[in-house]
Amino acid sequence: MDTQKHTLSRRELLKAIGITTGALALGPMLAACAPPAAAPTSGGEAAAPAADTAKTLELWTFVNTHARWFRSMAEDYTKEKDPDFTLNVSEIAYGDMHDKTLIALQSGGVGAPDLVDIEQGRFGGFLRGEDPGLVDLADRLNEGGYLEQLVAARLALYSFQGKIYGIEHALTPVVLYYRHDLWSAAGLDPQTFATWDDYIAGASQVAKDDALAMRFPPHDVLLRQRGSDYFDADGNVTLDSADSVETMEWILALRDQHKVADQGPDTDEAWWAAVQAGKYLSQVGADWYAGFFKDNAPNGTGQWMAAPLPAWEAGGARTSCFGGTGSCITKTSQFVDDAWNFQQYSMLSVEGNVRRFEMTNLFPPFIPAMDNERLHKADEYFNGQDLGKVFADVGPQVPAQYQSPYRAELNSQIGPMWQDVYDGVVQPADAFAEVAKTIRDMMEADK
């Protein structure tokens, strides 16, 4: 696998991630809400003062599987590297964790953890002040030779104005999951679909009776496959671009013109019931979606497989990206060097990345780990397929997703409009133009 030709160079990455920040900072009211500086131990009692040589670091995450992996890595790190190192891992609900972290950092670091997982959708909120309160890892990554070992597009999510604030947990390559038994029964193999036109031609043969080829894929996922997004590398809003509007119109045409897809059930329970009943024969999803199938559709063992996404044009990109979480170090930590050493051991090692895949189903963005045999075992659920090979083959082509301080605001604006777009009450061009104008006006007001 030739990974280097698909990755961005460090120079290209740093050029791409320089965008303009807003100047809105959180006010004194947030400082008054800061959490206490000393967290209780697991037994509920205040922790005793550490000895001079002891180093007790606090790590916050919102993902249970991440917490279990971090504890596993910390246990081995203490045994193998530093017997004075202790890592307290706290699993906190998604919203609470991000809010508490943001408040703590904006109030001078009172009560902030040493290490924290920040989800890519919330990361923009940390860029709205003069200083995000996170350690710039760019020089450390460069000096350690890690920039050439990471898929650079994934670093763009946690990068801003030439600085890199987080290390991505997952490559999140997007593939096409499909019911190979039912497509095969129709004499079709989605592995052979080179383009989305090929897919639609095949889907029209399997979408019949009360079964459909797929549920609507996410608009932003397909847009990134085309090389665009809601913001560009310079921070400009591109939600209302021609590519964006055309992509949404194409998604709606899957239902209105081709009759092969729909919006799908409106609850997770109903969706997975429909999947298990064979009502949907394929699904666009990231690597982590494989675990969802196993957990929520256990009777599908041996029925499902995965293929690269069909390209928009022959020879085009065969994947996209969806989701992500970055491991960050807070600037106010007393143990920045120790936190970095642990990041190298866990986030930037073959063993750490392979073990995380085994424990979380997240395919690594760390290139040296991609060919490890533990990532390439036959998967019984997916008909004995080597899913790791599918992810590794398309993964280095994962497109960049550029960060913006206004990304959360854009998502909050467009969220309530999606149903009207799906229902035809509002045309995609009109909805996207309205939201784009709102964000541009907000950006202009913040200058």
Apex CA 21: angle with CA 17 and CA 25, to 5°? 140
325 bridge partner residues: 119
pLDDT value at residue 233: 86
Judged by DSSP in three states, 96 sits in: helix
CATH topology of domain 4-40+51-171+322-378+385-397: D-Maltodextrin-Binding Protein; domain 2 (3.40.190)
Helices (H) and strands (E) in the chain, counts: 19, 12
Query: Sheet harboring 261-262: ordered strands across?
Result: 261-262, 212-215, 280-286, 174-179, 304-308
CA angle at 207 for the pair 203 and 213, rounded to the nearest 5°: 60
b/e burial code for range 267-277 (CB count within 10 A of at least 16 → b): eeeebbebbbe
d(CA 160, CA 233): 10
What integer pLDDT is reported at residue 303 of this predicted model?
Answer: 97
* Entry pTM: 0.80
Q: Would you say 366 and 391 are in contact if contact means Cβ atoms under 8 Å apart?
A: no
**282-317 burial by CB neighbour count: b if 16+ within 10 A, else e?**
bbbbbbbbbebbbeebeebeebbbbbbbbbbeeebb
The contacts found for 225-228 with CB under 8 angstroms, 24 or more apart, are 225/174, 225/309, 225/311, 225/312, 225/316, 225/317, 225/319, 225/320, 225/399, 226/312, 226/317, 227/317, 227/399
- The tens place of each residue's pLDDT in the chain, 447 residues long, gives 333 333 343 334 433 333 222 322 223 222 223 233 333 333 333 344 444 579 999 999 999 999 999 999 999 999 999 999 999 999 999 999 999 999 999 888 899 999 999 999 899 989 887 889 999 999 999 999 999 999 888 888 898 888 999 999 999 999 999 999 999 999 999 999 999 999 999 999 999 889 999 999 999 999 999 999 999 988 899 999 999 999 999 999 999 999 999 999 989 999 999 999 999 999 999 998 998 899 899 999 999 999 999 999 999 999 999 999 999 999 999 999 999 999 999 999 999 999 999 998 899 999 999 999 999 999 999 999 999 999 999 987 899 888 889 998 999 999 999 999 999 999 999 999 999 999 999 999 988
pLDDT of residue 32: 27
Rounded to an integer, what distance in angstroms lies between the CA atom of residue 55 and that of residue 397? 40
What confidence score (pLDDT) does residue 401 get?
86
pLDDT at residue 105, as a whole number: 94
CA–chain centroid gap for 292, Å, is 15
Helix (H, G, I), strand (E, B) or coil at 329: strand
Are 339 and 57 in contact by the 8 Å Cβ rule? The answer is yes
- The 3-class SS string of 117-129 reads EEEHHHHHHHHCC
Amino acid at the residue 111: G
Q: Cβ atoms within 10 A of the Cβ of 427, count?
A: 15
H/E element holding 265?
none
Tokens in use for 301? 């063992």
The residue extents of the domains of the chain are: 4-40+51-171+322-378+385-397
Half-sphere exposure of 66 (CA within 13 A, CB side): 25
- The pLDDT assigned to 52 comes to 59
